[in-house]
Amino acid sequence: MRPHCFLYLCNTMKKIFPILLAAFFVLAACEKEPEPKPSPYEIGGKTEEPSAATSGIKVDQTAFNRYSTAGEVAVYVTVEGDAKYAVSIPETAKDWISVASFSGSESGFVHFKITRNTTGANRNAMVAITYGEGLSKSIQISQDAKEKKDYFAEWGLDGTLVSTLSNDRPYYWYVDQGNTGTCSGVNCGPASTTMAANWFNGSFRGVTENARKEFYNDGGWWYTNDINAFFRSHGIKSSQKPFSNTSDLINELKKGNVVILCLDMYYITYGDESGKKVNKFYRTNAPEWGHFLVVKGYVETSTTLYCEVYDPYTMGRNYSDGTPKGLDRYYLADDLLRSAGIWWKNMIVVGGN
């Protein structure tokens, strides 16, 4: 039986036992809209395009900020016509920026590898994406000399740090579902699944549009069963476990795993203050706002337990430094537990631990 976000009457056995029409089943598929939005960037009736683009070429971000640790940033490039795009890194930055991989020739992700910053000073570079003859787009890549934990107070986390864990990867594996094609409005399931698969297997580098083609290609919600089936077919180790208290989730993170949750986001605290990363950054005006997201770490402070999440519902909304708002977001662990208890009291654990 496949979980779906809403309670509804089960009629699969009505020919045998009509009385069973009164039975209710909780099925969990977590999307908030029955049909895809007409535009991946239509938010609140207002169409928001990605970052400004030159005619013929678009990029989803024009600026990136990294911490001192080594890692990657990735830009999604969309071009028009048959010409392929290319990347040009300035000579002064080639000692710390290089191209790690391309996932496409006309459109797709470019992954930039960033070396560890041991200089003690901030460093910046402008990387050019060129297309055709004379068309280019500049991407600013910055890296400071701080660690992620140095920003917790600035991001709005309360209390003093007790412990923190982030099961991150040195490569870029976040997905903004707003960049995932005509079904982007309902692609939190495929986007979260693709993120977790890319996290599990760095050479997988799957694209959410391709994942969408495997289930309900024309649109509609993904179900938890679809996620489990996708992982099985692609060799991603996963299991479904109960989520009855916050320690269930934290223990899986401590094992080195990541977790996909199916939530009613109405019950997640809202807070979109400038520069802050605590609480959800978009409005949910009524219950039954189902949503998938990935939990990849936690921060325990003297007052609060937060979970570090990759929420795919950025939809083109970035911070001033170019960081997607759904990347490294911090939701209250108690909020996640309450929301899951109302919506789907399980979790999909990804990893071999």
Contact between residue 46 and residue 315 where contact means Cβ atoms under 8 Å apart: no
pLDDT score of 17 more than 50? no
DSSP codes, 306-339: EEEEE-STTTT-B-TTS-BTTTTEEEEHHHHHHH
At residue 77 the predicted structure's pLDDT band, cuts being 50, 70 and 90, is confident
Least confident of 65-79, 138-152, 158-172: 65-79
Least confident of 23-27, 87-91, 95-99: 23-27
107 contact partners, CB below 8 Å, separation of at least 6: 76, 77, 78, 79
pLDDT, mean over the chain:
84
pLDDT score of 4 more than 60? no
User: Which residue type, as a one-letter code, is found at position 300?
Assistant: E
For residue 268 the two structure tokens come to 């997640």
Q: Please report the domains of the chain, with CATH numbers, ordered by start residue.
A: 57-145 (2.60.40.10), 149-350 (3.90.70.10)
For residues 345 and 232, give the distance between their C-alpha atoms in angstroms, rounded to a whole number. Answer: 22
Least confident of 30-44, 127-141, 302-316: 30-44
- 148-173 mean pLDDT: 96
For residues 325 and 313, give the distance between their C-alpha atoms in angstroms, rounded to a whole number. Answer: 9
pLDDT score of 306 more than 90? yes
pLDDT score of 27 more than 50? no
Q: How many CB atoms lie within 10 A of CB 267?
A: 18
pLDDT at 228: 96
At 206-241, the pLDDT tens digits run 889 999 999 998 888 899 999 999 999 999 999 999
Strand partners, 46: 43
User: Sheet containing 108-114: which strands, arranged edge to edge?
Assistant: 57-59, 71-79, 108-114, 97-102
Least confident of 127-131, 151-155, 303-307: 127-131
Q: What percent of the chain has pLDDT over 70?
A: 82
- 108-117 mean pLDDT: 92
At 176-205, the pLDDT tens digits run 999 898 899 999 999 999 999 999 998 887
